Amino acid sequence: MKSPITPVIRKTGCEVIESLDPVDRVLLEKNHINFIVSFGCRHIIKKSVLEYLPDRVINLHISYLPWNRGADPNLWSFLEDTSKGVSIHYIDEGIDTGDIIAQKRVSLDENSETLATSYDKLEMCIIELFKETWPNIIANNVHRLKQRGAGSFHKTGDKSKHMNLLTDGWNTEVKKLIGAALIK
């Protein structure tokens, strides 16, 4: 499946290689890759790759960082009732901790949304933000903003104790999840 950001990148005259596999320095050198855009990638990008491409590895994340770093950001934004939004950030050695390039709060109707529909809206918003921002990113004409505050971080397994709340899977209404992880 082609990534929805590929046409945006190609529109600026860049060639694109898509991969769901981990990226290493050998692949970069062999293919003369000079920039990485991570979108929906589940692999940690190694330090050697970051050193090879300093300030040229970015991530598109469907949360309003520093909230909901890591896995399942959309789910956690409801479970912990945190800000909803999207962020484009530089990748550093942490997980979703790099400097922010651009971000946008996203308003979601908690009375009508499901996890699936809210995810789709966040994905559309991150793609739109990327379209607006990519020309400046590639021209190195962006301002970096350090992430402020502790925010939150979640691993894939963290959601296991809340899976009983997903009564209709990803079609569960989000209003049933708001703040559920805060109740003790």
**DSSP letters along the chain, please?**
---TTHHHHHHTT------SSPP-HHHHHHHT---EEEES--SPPPHHHHHHSTT-EEEEESS-TTTTEES-HHHHHHHTT---EEEEEE--SSSS-SPEEEEEE----TTT-BHHHHHHHHHHHHHHHHHHHHHHHHTT----B---S---EE-GGGGGGGGGG-EEEETSBGGGTTTGGG--
Instruction: Decide if 94 is inside a domain.
Output: yes
pLDDT tens digit at each of 184 positions of the chain:
589 999 999 999 999 999 889 999 999 999 999 999 999 888 999 999 999 999 999 999 999 999 999 999 999 999 999 999 999 999 999 999 999 999 999 999 999 999 999 999 999 999 999 999 999 999 999 999 999 999 999 999 999 999 999 999 999 999 999 999 998 6
* Residues 6+ positions from 16 with CB-CB distance below 8 Å: 6, 9, 10
- Structural domain that includes position 72: 6-182
Instruction: Decide if 1 is inside a domain.
Output: no
In the chain, the number of structural domains is 1
Q: CATH no. for residue 83? A: 3.40.50.170
This model's pTM is above 0.75: yes
Q: What is the pLDDT of residue 42?
A: 84
